[in-house]
Amino acid sequence: QVQLVESGGGLVQAGGSLRLSCAASGNILRINVMGWYRQAPGKQRELVARMSSIGSTNYADSVKGRFTISRDNAKNTVYLQMNSLKPEDTGVYYCNYNTGPYGAWGQGTQVTVSS
């Protein structure tokens, strides 16, 4: 099993920045994908950004140019740098670890962007 612990959420004004971190522990496979999803009230959970252990990335169109995902494989940690935040970025952000057959979710961290 894999455990994920997120940190870094909070309240920020529009135009501000936040950095999320997610540390994975447990039975970590060398080849994996770690990423961030978010869920706004009344909406489905959606992909924000994800990054494979070999460096390939995917971003939601809505965050391209504003958010940057990175990871430290030695620490099994993935980061999400969020700049130029907008009120529509508000939601619970969940870290995800995936190897194909197996996936794990963090507990979520709240991000609130005020206008």
DSSP state of 91: E
pLDDT, tens only, 17-33: 999 999 999 999 989 99
pLDDT, tens only, 57-95: 999 999 999 999 999 999 999 999 999 999 999 999 999
d(CA 29, CA 41): 33
Q: What pLDDT shows up at residue 6?
A: 95
Length of the chain: 115
Q: How far is CA 8 from CA 15, 44, 48, 94, 100, in A?
A: 17, 22, 16, 12, 27
Q: What pLDDT shows up at residue 106?
A: 97
Residue 101: pLDDT band by 50, 70, 90 thresholds? confident
Q: What is the mean pLDDT of residues 49-58?
A: 96
Map tokens 């979710």 to a residue. Answer: 105
Q: What pLDDT shows up at residue 112?
A: 98
Q: What pLDDT shows up at residue 43?
A: 96
What are φ and ψ of residue 63, in 5° steps? -115, -5
DSSP state of 43: S
Q: What pLDDT shows up at residue 100?
A: 86
Q: What is the mean pLDDT of residues 39-46?
A: 96
What are φ and ψ of residue 82, in 5° steps? -115, 115
